[in-house]
Structure 1
């Protein structure tokens, strides 16, 4: 049995007639022959999709869908290969269906024209319009198959054009994943597997058996194109036309935008639009606010972009000093928020939904979305050269504003921002307001070496432009001192902190929150600096009056007061005054749980600190240590990540607990990877890294694994 239909203009036997937007021209037919008479035209990896379709339409006769109309949605990014898979399924299994009809579902007009053509093709004597073709499927209780191709228009009510009956089969291809709601089953067409991608590229590039060297080149090119089907077809066609497999990779790296914008003139398949042309069609259908969002995202990392980035930026942009970046950010944010710069969750949700309806982005989980790497590159390439600077500055301003609205303990959000800051750092950042916020992010995330590259020049710039007693200069100096502390360079921190505290007292007063913070930082640094090593009594002399002032000015539940309480308790511990430490830590931990929650990084730190006060001289005390430290480490890894300094501290503490319990192998399993991470993140000469090296050396002779 042979069914005739065309892939792109499926109106066989139709007369020419007017439709909205132009003249419909009757199409020529393309034969779909018996499944055994031609080679399967999809790579091996796509055969998985064919198997799923076969299971649903052919094999699944005993399911609850048997005897009902079956609808399957193939959805994915434009150029992913949706139509190719649907056509190959129809070709391979054409004998299983009584009739196969192809409908272009781009608009109501194209659907109606297709149904009119179907009515004419079935020689209906009473063709009154497109409805005659539509009714034909209802009245013919047969095992027919409709392919509804390119149903990408989110405004189109496709459901009303699907025959309402208890028989027949429909495959829908669309960029719009929302059509899952009208389908019995669905499958997303994603990037190809590496071997399949290489196969597809070579099929179009050389059209013969490839050599080993050619396969290696094709493998590299396919990886560079992220294994995306249409990009591979386009590259293969270009290589075949210009015989340039050997130098195509260099060409791709230097002129990717031009290559991916060039339409395909000669191809084994019937698809001639370039990958960029395909996505430009979707771009043209977007509203202006959606286009602004895509432009900004072009300068961020392509993965895990949080909605909260734009929310926090909107809520905090007014707190930033005026600059070109900040002004551009405001201009863009007013399109994403309300005219009065109020955050509107429903507006951003609708915007994201419209963009995702063309599969240009994927909502990967609640509050996060991502782009395919090639789509992300297209977003950048399509920006006009005159617009790029404004968008880049605006993106920097938006991220800076979101950092400005982030608390130090909000490590989960900080971790989300890191890849986007790295992406923006590839572009010039000259404004002080931007550099200060990025420096703050690296400090909050405890990437001290990275933070130092910001704060050292920032302090010099601030001293020259604002003077040493200016509040901004003092804040920058405090951040530089904290950076030195994180790096274990305590003396350099001390050289900044002592004069800074005196200036802060004179200019701001002793009860100002910034002065209290600087007092706290100096107290923490004094006992660990070489100049005052182990002199915890001097720290105590600063911390005790500081805590009293903090309680009076801020209250006992204020985060800063809780921090000062915790630090005073730690000083008591170092002095061996465990009962006094315990008297502070127990009520502090309860308040911290109530105010901040059990999974807040500060609460986890206080849980860990309380464990120090449990006697370790007895087995019972050590077991209590383990009860505290084991869940504390688990929470820390989940919330902060394995490379965060606090997580490394908790890993070290749990390893020491295992040592006290005589469980040396379990200690070793923690200590060896911990030391490697510590070397990478902090450096081999950092005091904490040296302590971990020493702890591992002490444990190795005791471990059975080494013995």
Structure 2
């Protein structure tokens, strides 16, 4: 019967009894995922589907817009929800009239599915919508086919994978705290579809887009809507708040646990493992990362996977993302979107009035949300509202200079709202003023409920006792679009349930600025004091434990806005110092250095320079500056502190010891190695007297003493100190403690420098295994241990074939943790360059060695042993390239410089002399070469011992210089003795022994080390 009435190709639907039918699926952009799923299921049963996103303009009559849909052949399936009937937007009366008239007259052409459990318009009964809300996928498919009178195919056709094929009601495998879906989200369909197309069409490894635009333009809302709307395209959707670097780092790293990659708490390892897993597409290949509020582009490579089949979406005000990602400009609403948004939230407003409001606020989404919320909640007539806004009668004194992108009327609008709340909901204003005492962005407002009532001023005690009033005040602020609820419960432990104290909200930075100005007179300092108290109460108290770092990352942004930096309360000062310890332990050196300087500026006006907090601040600030490679600043700070302590009438010996230790560390980095060793001996002596041999501080002092001895080339003494420290730490801390691992690493390095290559290798292999077990493979200390292992393998003659590849990998990981110019990264660059030179890749080797030498010089200055000795590495590259004159020039400069800075007998000077003698020989200055070789061998035997590999290299070089001047008998004696010693100490097959037997001239390459 149906076929006879409506044969396919003549506007009919077909009977579904086996013929291939055509269905037009009509949907609002909000339900794109459902429309795609319906399309896929119908196609699997052999039918042809056309998707039609339907958002007719308000000016087009509704029956005309629906009649346009009937121009296509087949049945029209409407994807309905309460949202659908706000399209346009249109009044309920218009919809009911059309449904009862035009749609009823063409009922056989229309069908519908319902996606909501909320009531639809009564007249939708004519569409006989089938309910798909809250049912399983098989049941939804059965109901869909039944409503369209289609017979299921047996079996359904298997379709190739396409984005959006997952059943929309099925949850994403990993869903990472995307903001709640905004039920008031309006328009932006073209932009969202463009965004999806750009991400999908991008080449592998380049699927990244950045939404750029001014504050308040709606970038975050668009990103959130994209994540919800296109979630069936992905297995992983992970939201990362990126306005604070430490928050971004911690949030990104948390994905490692969700993906089952690692249980390590070390941020660098987590970040690397996540990035690598996403790049490989394991365990999930379809992923979406959203970085919200990411302004700095420098660390993009650390987070964005370079490959894979996933997508990256960034929101930012910074246009510098161009070139790194695809840029999508976000402007204000189109006027139709502004009007539609206002009409939905304030139904009593006419379309013309909505147009005037939109014009008044330049279609800026943030301001449109506030205006719509006010009109919708208050019921005020739009004309009256516009009159008040334009007259500015409610405007208070506000500094608008920082909000130049917003029209004057925006401030009046907010003033109207706050004055109304003062009159009708005073507790809501109290809560709002409290929120404005935090920093903008994510506000852990629930922390206030953990304070005892007596810790709050009288007007805020209701917060802890009256839960309904708390809920009403929060709801009111959310309804008025002042705040949005944060999807995240807070930084609490895995075993701790989320509750009121983990509640958090989000306040846009522009809203925060305006509200802060408008509430500035409302006893602001009282509210800031409350925030200071709750921040101090929330201090985990153990910044050395990486499990507490997410909490510190959460508290850190609010220190300035709450006035904590100027507080004299001991608990608040303790919080500030713990935040600095967190920055140091967590590698947040830039943030830590800025925070420390801000604290110093405030405390210098409040506290004596020799007070306990100021002394602790000096220690922490120096540690952070030193770890960041800002050695001179640290030295200046620590020198001034030590001078003050020494000149004081009464000084705490422990404080003096700490200050001395810090200054000794600065001196080691600055190349003042002899002075540093002397000061470190003072520290050890004081620690032994005050604290005893087994106390943590004493053991640290001994460890640093070993560093100082090693820098001066006194390797045997360093080993004795390090070995004693290692034994004590193994007894007191056990062998898996990070401090014990540091001592084990130091002992292996000593052994290698002493020429005991096999012993060093054996120790370092075990050391690396324990580093990986305890700290994880990507921890900075583990990277250093692996670096040291490669050097041990090379010296022991068991160098890996892929040593260059391993060094390149270590360099990449190190750079992502500390950056390219950090001293630990420069050490790797140097050793990687030396390795490439040995492998014959001279162009790349020269590039890296030159980069390292210049960077060392910028970091440490001209008169420092490290950049001075780096010239010998540069000379080795030139020599390998055939530039013997250039090589000798570099060798001689290195030798002169190290003699001045380190003395004639330092191992580094001896190595530079070995290379300089070679350079002289190669250009025919044979007598000078012989003289230098004799002198160097004598000093090496005295300093290093007769069987040390460096000494034996000097002996082999001397034999070569003797042969060059035809002293063959003496040359033979020296060569034979050296070979016997090499065979006895290193083995007959060691590369040094084989090279000596083949009369290959030995060389020495410099390995920079700062402790």
Please state which band the TM-score falls in when normalised by the shorter chain. 0.5 to 0.7
In 2, Cα distance between the equivalents of 1:94 and 1:54? Answer: 22
1:631 aligns with 2:809: yes
Task: Determine the structure 2 residue equivalent to 1:23.
Answer: none
CA spacing shift, 1:489–1:443, aligned 2, 3 Å? same
Residue 118 of structure 1: CA displacement? 4.6
Tell me the SS of whatever aligns to 2:801.
Answer: helix
Paired residues of 1:497 and 1:518 also in contact (CA < 8 A)? yes
Of 602, 605, 616 in structure 2, the residue corresponding to residue 429 of structure 1 is 602
| Rounded Cα–Cα distance in structure 1 between residues aligned with 2:502 and 2:57 | 33
Query: 2:584, 2:624 within 8 Å by CA — same for their partners in 1?
Result: no
**How many angstroms does 1:652 deviate by?**
1.0
Q: Give unpaired runs (5+ residues) of structure 1.
A: 1-51, 73-85, 126-130, 143-152, 160-172, 204-226, 234-251, 266-271, 312-331, 361-372
1:255 is aligned to: 401
Q: Closer, same or farther in 2 for the Cα pair 1:563/1:486, shift >3 Å?
A: same
Could you tell me which residue of structure 2 aligns to residue 493 of structure 1? 676
SS class of match (1:545): helix
Counterpart check, 1:475 vs 2:658 = yes
Counterpart CA distance in 1 for 2:528 and 2:592 is 17
CA contact (8 A) 2:635 2:663 kept: yes
Aligned partners of 2:706 and 2:721 also within 8 Å: yes
CA distance in 1, matches of 2:663, 2:708: 13
Which residue number in structure 2 is paired with residue 392 of structure 1? 563
Residue in 1 aligned with 2:590?
418
What secondary structure sits across from 2:401 in the alignment?
Answer: helix
Q: Distance in 2 between matches of 1:555 and 1:492?
A: 33
Gaps of 5+ in 2: 1-27, 42-47, 70-81, 102-117, 130-178, 186-217, 233-289, 291-312, 320-326, 336-361, 369-397, 448-463, 465-469, 471-485, 533-561, 566-571, 604-612, 888-1011
Q: Assess if the C-alpha contact under 8 Å between 1:191 and 1:229 holds in 2.
A: no
Question: Matches of 1:654 and 1:693 in 2, distance apart?
Answer: 16
Aligned to 2:578: 401
CA positional deviation for 1:422: 2.1
Deviations 1:47-105 (A, max 9, x none): xxxxx979979x99995499799889xxxxxxxxxxxxx998999x99866699xxxx9
- 1:599-678 equivalence runs, <5 A: 599-615=778-794, 621=799, 623=801, 625-626=803-804, 628-678=806-856
RMSD of aligned C-alpha atoms?
A: 6.3
Q: What does residue 581 of structure 1 align with?
A: 760
Name the counterpart of 2:623.
440
Give the conservation status (yes or no) of the 8 Å contact 2:821–2:855.
yes
Aligned-residue offset at 1:627: 5.7
C-alpha distance in 1, partners of 2:443/2:639? 30
**In structure 1, distance between residues paired with 2:799 and 2:636:** 44
Task: Say yes or no: does 1:597 pair with 2:776.
Answer: yes
Note the alpha carbon deviations across 1:376-403, whole angstroms, 9 max, x for none: 8668767846466961326876453244
Higher mean C-alpha deviation, range 388-397 or range 116-125: 116-125
**Residues 97, 405 of structure 1: CA spacing in aligned structure 2 closer, same or farther, 3 A cutoff?**
same
CA shift in 2, pair 1:584/1:494, >3 Å: same
Report how far residue 294 of structure 1 moved.
7.1
2:873 aligned to which of 682, 695, 698: 695
Shift of 1:509: 1.1
Any idea what SS the aligned residue of 2:602 has? coil
Correspondence 1:135 to 2:313: no
Deviation (angstroms), 1:568: 2.3
Q: Identify the residue that residue 216 of structure 1 maps to in structure 2.
A: none
Larger Rg: 2
Aligned pair in 2 of structure 1 residues 448, 277: CA closer, same or farther (>3 Å)?
farther
Residue 687 of structure 1 and its aligned partner are, at CA, apart by 3.2
Q: Compute the displacement of 1:609 (Å).
A: 1.3
Residue 355 of structure 1, aligned match among 505, 517, 520: 505
Cα shift at 1:546: 2.8
Q: Name whichever of 677-686 and 643-652 sits farther off.
A: 677-686
Alignment of 1:10-49 (within 5 A): none
The Cα of 1:554 is off from its aligned counterpart by: 2.6
Q: Which residue of 1 aligns with 2:994?
A: none
Distance 1:118 1:598 in 2: 65
Q: Is the 8 A contact 1:260 1:275 kept in 2?
A: no
Classify 1:632/1:124 alpha carbon distance in 2 versus 1 (closer, same or farther; 3 Å): closer
**1:259-270 superposed matches below 5 A:** 262-263=408-409
What is the distance in 1 between the residues matched to 2:815 and 2:407? 44
Residue pair 2:584, 2:623 contacting (<8 A) in 1 also: no
CA contact (8 A) 2:833 2:844 kept: yes
- Structure 1 residues 519 and 285, CA gap change in structure 2 (3 angstroms): same
Structure-2 residue corresponding to 1:505 = 688
> TM-score, normalised to structure 1's length?
0.54
Mapped to 2, the partners of 1:450 and 1:306 lie a distance apart of 34
Question: Structure 2 matches for 1:337-376, cutoff 5 A?
Answer: 355=505, 360=508
Change in Cα spacing, 1:606 to 1:306, as seen in structure 2 (3 Å) is farther
Structure 2 Cα separation of the partners of residues 383 and 286 of structure 1:
12
Cα distance, 1:155–1:436 mapped onto 2, change above 3 Å: same
How has the CA–CA distance of structure 1 residues 703 and 476 changed in structure 2, closer, same or farther, with 3 Å as cutoff?
same
User: Does the CA-based 8 Å contact 1:494-1:522 persist in structure 2?
Assistant: yes
8 A contact 1:231–1:275 mirrored in 2? no
Aligned residues of 2:670 and 2:864 also touching (Cα < 8 A) = yes
Per the TM alignment, residue 624 of structure 1 is displaced from its structure 2 partner at its CA by 6.0
* 1:572–1:383 distance in 2 versus 1, CA, 3 Å: farther
Q: Distance in 2 between matches of 1:501 and 1:193?
A: 51
Does the 8 Å contact 1:261/1:274 carry over to 2? no
- C-alpha change, 1:88 and 1:602, in structure 2 (3 Å) is farther
Between stretches 507-516 and 420-429, larger displacement belongs to: 420-429
- RCO comparison, higher one (Cα < 8 Å, 6+): 1
Task: Give the CA deviation at 1:563.
Answer: 1.6
Aligned counterpart, 1:80: none
1:564 aligns with 2:743: yes
Residues 518/423 of structure 1: CA separation in 2 closer, same or farther (3 Å cut): closer
Taking the TM superposition and a 5 Å limit, the aligned residue runs for 1:70-469 are 116=92, 118=94, 134-136=121-123, 139=126, 175=221, 183=229, 255-256=401-402, 262-263=408-409, 295-297=437-439, 355=505, 360=508, 384=520, 386=525, 391-393=562-564, 398=575, 400-404=577-581, 408=585, 413-415=586-588, 418-419=590-591, 421-422=593-594, 425-426=597-598, 428-430=601-603, 431-432=613-614, 433-460=616-643, 468-469=651-652
Deviation at 1:588, TM superposition (A): 2.0
